[in-house]
Amino acid sequence: MRRVITYGTYDLLHYGHIELLRRAKQHGDYLIVALSTDEFNKLKNKKSYYNYEQRKMMLESIRYVDLVIPENNWEQKTDDVLNYKVDTFLMGHDWEGEFDFLKDHCEVIYLKRTEGISTTQIKKELYGNE
C-alpha cells in the first residue's frame, strides 16, 4: 500500500482543495491530510473562518481522504513521514523546494495548484482583505 501525505489549513473548502486531494490520491492508496490546528494557524498569523474540528469534519467527508491528523508545528513533517510510513509527500507548487529535505525519507512531489481559485482570493472578494 502506498501512503501519501499532504498538509494545509483547508479553510473555506473549495473546488481547488478537492482537485488537490483528488490528484494527491492518484499518487497512492491511502491519503493522509495533516490539518493545521487553530493554535498553529495563530503562529502563522492565519485566521480560519471554521475551527479545526469543523475543518476536520469536512475533510473526513471527502472520499479521497483516508485520515486527518493535526498539524501542530512546522517541524513535525519528518516525524509524520516516518510514523505513518509515508511513501509520498505532496504539496502545492508554490512550496517548491521547501520540503526537499524529506527526500531522504520519501518521494516529494509539488503539484501545480488549480488556477483561478484560492482561499485568499475568496476572502478578498468576500471581505475585501485576507
* Residue numbers annotated as active site: 44, 46
Exposure letters 9-24 (e unless 16+ CB within 10 A, then b): bbbbbeebbeebbebb
The dihedral region occupied by 128, where left means phi > 0, alpha psi between -120 and 50, and beta the remainder, is left
- List 33's β-bridge partners, or say none: 6, 68
Q: From residue 79, how far is each of 5, 73, 123 by CA, in Å?
A: 12, 11, 33
Please report the DSSP string for 42-56 in residue order: HHTT---SS-HHHHH
